[in-house]
Chains A and B, each alone.
Chain A
Amino acid sequence: MPIGSKGCQTMPHDHTHSPSGHPYRKDDDVPLNYWQTLEIAVRELLIEKGVTTATEIAAQIDAMDARSPANGAAVVARAWSDPAFYDQLLADATTATRDMGFDIGPMKLIAVANTPQLHNIVVCTLCSCYPRNLLGLPPDWYKSRAYRARTVKEPRKVLAEFGVTLPAGTQVRVHDSTADMRYIVIPQRPAQTDGMSQQTLAQLVTRDSMIGTGLAKTV
Chain B
Amino acid sequence: MTNDDTSFSGHRWHDMGGMTAGGIPTDQHDFSLWEKRVDALMVLCSTKGHFTVDGLRRVLEDMPASAFEDMTYYERWIASVNQNLIESGVYTTAELGARMSEISARGDTYGEAASD
**A108 contacts B by Cβ under 8 Å:** no
A150-B31 Cα distance, complex, nearest whole Å: 25
Q: What is the 8 Å Cβ interface bit string for chain B, positions 82-106, against chain A (1 contact, 0 not)?
A: 1001000011000110011001100
- Residues 23-81 of B at the A interface (beta carbon under 8 Å): 23-34, 36-41, 43-45, 48, 50, 53-54, 57, 60, 68, 71-75, 78-79, 81
Q: For residue A152, which residues in chain B have a CB less than 8 angstroms away from its CB?
A: 17-18
Q: Which residue of A lies closest to B113 (CB)?
A: A32
Asked if residues B32 and A27 are in contact (CB atoms below 8 Å), the reply is yes
Asked if residues B79 and A37 are in contact (CB atoms below 8 Å), the reply is no
Given A32-B104, A149-B21: A42 touches B78 (CB 8 Å cut-off): yes
Q: For residue B115, which residues in chain A have a CB less than 8 angstroms away from its CB?
A: 40, 44
Given A4-B29, A161-B23: A36 touches B40 (CB 8 Å cut-off): no
Q: For residue B34, which residues in chain A have a CB less than 8 angstroms away from its CB?
A: 27, 36, 39-40
Q: For residue B104, which residues in chain A have a CB less than 8 angstroms away from its CB?
A: 32, 37
A30-B112 Cα distance, complex, nearest whole Å: 10
Q: For residue A176, which residues in chain B have a CB less than 8 angstroms away from its CB?
A: 17
Q: What is the 8 Å Cβ interface bit string for chain A, positions 51-72, against chain B (1 contact, 0 not)?
A: 1101011001100110000000
- A side interface size, CB within 8 A: 67
Q: For residue B44, which residues in chain A have a CB less than 8 angstroms away from its CB?
A: 46, 51-52, 56-57, 60
Asked if residues A2 and B27 are in contact (CB atoms below 8 Å), the reply is yes
Given A5-B29, A42-B41: A125 touches B16 (CB 8 Å cut-off): yes
Q: Which residue of B lies closest to A124 (CB)?
A: B17
Known: A5-B29, A123-B17, A162-B24. 10 other contacts (CB 8 A): A3-B72, A15-B111, A19-B107, A25-B33, A27-B32, A27-B34, A32-B109, A38-B100, A42-B82, A145-B19
Task: State the A residues within 8 Å of B (CB).
Answer: 2-8, 13, 15, 18-20, 24-25, 27-32, 35-46, 49, 51-52, 54, 56-57, 60-61, 64-65, 123, 125-128, 137, 139-141, 143-153, 158, 161-162, 176, 179
